[in-house]
Structure 1
C-alpha cells in the first residue's frame, strides 16, 4: 500500500538535523510520543506520497528527530521538509462506546438545545484553557465561522458520533 486508504494528519516534518539523514518532526497527537505508535507513516508534499519506515527516533527540545530507514544523507531527507505526516486512520486503536477521536467530530452537524441548526464542524483548535469547535455557518448573512468553546456538560451537551450530531448550549 503506497497511500493510506483513510488518511489522517498526525504531524508535520521540519528541517533536516545533522548530516546523516535525521529530520525534525512535530507531533499533533495529544500525547506527543504517541505519534510513534501509529506506523507506518506517509509523507505528503505537493500531492506526492512517500511511505516511510522509521528506524530510530529521540526527543529533541520540545519535538523529535527521526531517522528514516535506508536514508543517511541530509540532501535526500531535506526534500521531506514541510511534508505532512499522515497515517491510515485504521491504524488508530478502536475506542469503547461514547469515546471518539477529534477527527470523528469533523463534519458533525451542530444544533443548539432549542434545535436550531448552527452549522457544521470544520476544525478544532487546541488552546491552553479549552479546545474550540470551529463551525461553518452557511446560514449567517456574514458567512463567518462560529467558534464554540469545547466545555463538556456546560456548553457541549451531547456528541453523537454515529449520527454526526453535536448539541450545544449556544445561541
Structure 2
C-alpha cells in the first residue's frame, strides 16, 4: 500500500465506501455505488481516501457478502490494519470510466449543470438524480423566487430533455412550472 497526503488523481470519482472489518484475517466490507455493483472490481487498483490521506489499494481476493462485498487487500493480514480504513471513500480517476455512446451521461457529469426551459427561463442547477424503474429523475435546486421547492424533472431524452451541453454546463428542458397559491 502506498499512502500520500497529496491528491494523486486529476478528476477523482467516488465509486464506493469502506465499511467495517470482517473477521480477524484482514478482510473488510465495501459498498459499491455503481449501478451494477460488482463492476467496482473493474477499477482496482484504486484509492481509499480518509482524512486527506490517499492509499493505493491492490486486491488479493473479494467475495459477495449479503448485499455487498468483502475484500482482502494485498499485504494486509490483520483486523487492526483494515480497521483504520473503515469509512474511507473508494475513489478512481474519471479517465478509468468506459466511454459512453452519444446521449449517454454519467451522473457526475449532469450534477451542477444549469437547467433552462425552452423559453430560456432559468430553473436552477441539478443537485441530484433519482433512479426509478421507468426513468431517472433530475432534482433541480430551484432558483425561481415564486416557487420554493426543488423541481423534479423526468429524464426522458427528446421528449422532456431537449439538449444537454456538457461543455457549456446547460440542460434545455421542455418544462413549465404551474404556480399554486
TM-score bracket, shorter-length normalisation = 0.7 to 0.9
Give unpaired runs (5+ residues) of structure 2: 177-181
Cα distance in 1 between the residues matched to 2:125 and 2:144 = 11
Correspondences of 1:43-62 after superposition (within 5 Å): 43-62=48-67
Q: 2:121 aligns with which of 113, 116, 119?
A: 116
Cα distance in 1 between the residues matched to 2:137 and 2:91 = 23
State the SS of the aligned residue for 2:167.
coil
Does 1:65 pair with 2:88? no
Does 1:82 pair with 2:80? no
**Counterpart in the other structure of 1:158:** 163
Cα distance in 1 between the residues matched to 2:12 and 2:30 = 18
TM-score (norm 1): 0.87
Contact 2:124–2:142 (8 Å) recurs in 1: yes
Q: 2:19 aligns with which of 6, 14, 17?
A: 14
Contact 1:39–1:91 (8 Å) recurs in 2: no
Cα distance in 2 between the residues matched to 1:89 and 1:121 = 20
**Counterpart in the other structure of 2:33:** 28
Give unpaired runs (5+ residues) of structure 1: none
Report deviation, 1:124: 2.0
Aligned-residue CA RMSD (Å): 2.1
Q: Deviations over 1:43-96 (max 9, x none)?
A: 122222222111211111111111111111111101111111110111112223
State the SS of the aligned residue for 1:30.
coil
**Counterpart in the other structure of 2:179:** none
Number of residue equivalences: 171
Q: Deviations over 1:2-31 (max 9, x none)?
A: 522211001111111111111111111111
State the SS of the aligned residue for 1:98.
coil
Deviates more, 1:15-24 or 1:145-154: 145-154
